[in-house]
């Protein structure tokens, strides 16, 4: 087995973009709408639930929990799309109620994702947060696809991304840059509306769509890496 990175594992962005835009396309036709509605509820509707003044000190914790719930929805979508790519059958119940071990793993992976996301906003932690994320990028994939434990999945992700981190970073940056620009332009238009609820709703709506698109790219990358590993083992 060669230790040299296989450059064909990561394709050009033009290969991933058409599939990313088909975020609505999952074999189980009910899964995406359900997950999308849940993310809108936790990101948008929960923002307007009156928060008890006595608990105002914990509002940041509540926001963190909302982000974790939304992230779990994105990871459930990721799990389903990986099964689609592999031609595996699954039910809506199987995806929404994956079992305690897998749920705990996805919950822990969501915490890691949110912590790294928050850390990346701070300029001092941007570089280490990005490097750590590129190391654990496939951790949720191994949890959902292989039913691996959290630490086992982190190690598997770390090993499989050796030699590919810069190409992964380049691909993700090429995807996120235009998406971010479009998101900002959309928010500028929404922000000009006199209706107070338009801006947060558009923000939640656009953010959720971009995250579902991003999960498809992660799944396609993971599937490509796994296919290459199987070929190397032959």
**Rounded to an integer, what distance in angstroms lies between the CA atom of residue 140 and that of residue 105?**
8
The token pair at 165 is: 């981190």
pLDDT of residue 4: 54
User: At which residue do the structure tokens 């090993």 appear?
Assistant: 159
Q: Where are the domains of the chain?
A: 11-233
**Rounded to an integer, what distance in angstroms lies between the CA atom of residue 64 and that of residue 3?**
40
Is the Cβ–Cβ distance between 217 and 23 less than 8 Å? no
pTM reported for the whole predicted model:
0.88
pLDDT of residue 159: 94
pLDDT of residue 198: 78
Q: How far apart are the first and last CA of the chain?
A: 10
**Rounded to an integer, what distance in angstroms lies between the CA atom of residue 112 and that of residue 141?**
14
User: At which residue do the structure tokens 């949720």 appear?
Assistant: 140
Tens-of-pLDDT digits for all 234 residues of the chain?
Answer: 444 555 568 888 899 999 999 999 999 999 999 999 999 999 887 777 766 777 667 777 888 888 999 999 999 999 999 999 999 999 999 999 888 889 999 999 999 988 988 887 777 788 888 999 999 999 999 999 998 999 999 999 999 999 999 999 999 999 988 888 888 887 777 667 666 677 788 888 888 999 999 999 999 999 998 876 665 554
Is the Cβ–Cβ distance between 212 and 36 less than 8 Å? yes
| CA angle in degrees (0–180, nearest 5) for 203-205-211 | 95
pLDDT of residue 200: 80
User: At which residue do the structure tokens 């394709």 appear?
Assistant: 11
pLDDT of residue 197: 73
């Amino acid at each position: 087995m060669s230790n040299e990175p296989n450059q064909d594992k990561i394709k050009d962005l033009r290969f991933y973009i058409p599939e990313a835009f088909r975020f609505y396309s999952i074999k189980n036709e009910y899964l995406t709408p359900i997950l999308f509605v849940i993310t809108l509820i936790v990101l948008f509707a929960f923002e307007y639930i009156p928060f008890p003044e006595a608990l105002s000190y914990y509002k940041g914790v509540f926001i963190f929990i909302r982000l974790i719930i939304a992230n779990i929805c994105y990871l459930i979508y990721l799990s389903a799309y990986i099964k689609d790519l592999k031609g595996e059958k699954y039910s809506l119940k199987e995806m929404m109620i994956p079992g305690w071990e897998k749920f705990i793993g996805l919950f822990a992976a969501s915490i890691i994702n949110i912590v790294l996301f928050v850390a990346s906003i701070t300029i001092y932690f941007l570089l280490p947060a990005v490097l750590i994320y590129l190391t654990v990028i496939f951790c949720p994939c191994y949890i959902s696809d292989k039913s691996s434990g959290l630490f086992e999945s982190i190690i598997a992700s770390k090993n499989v991304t050796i030699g590919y981190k810069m190409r992964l970073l380049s691909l993700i940056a090429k995807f996120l840059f235009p998406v971010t620009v479009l998101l900002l332009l959309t928010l500028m238009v929404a922000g000009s509306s006199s209706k107070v609820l338009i801006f947060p709703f558009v923000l939640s709506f656009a953010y959720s769509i971009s995250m579902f698109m991003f999960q498809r790219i992660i799944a396609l990358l993971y599937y490509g890496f796994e296919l290459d590993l199987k070929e190397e083992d032959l």
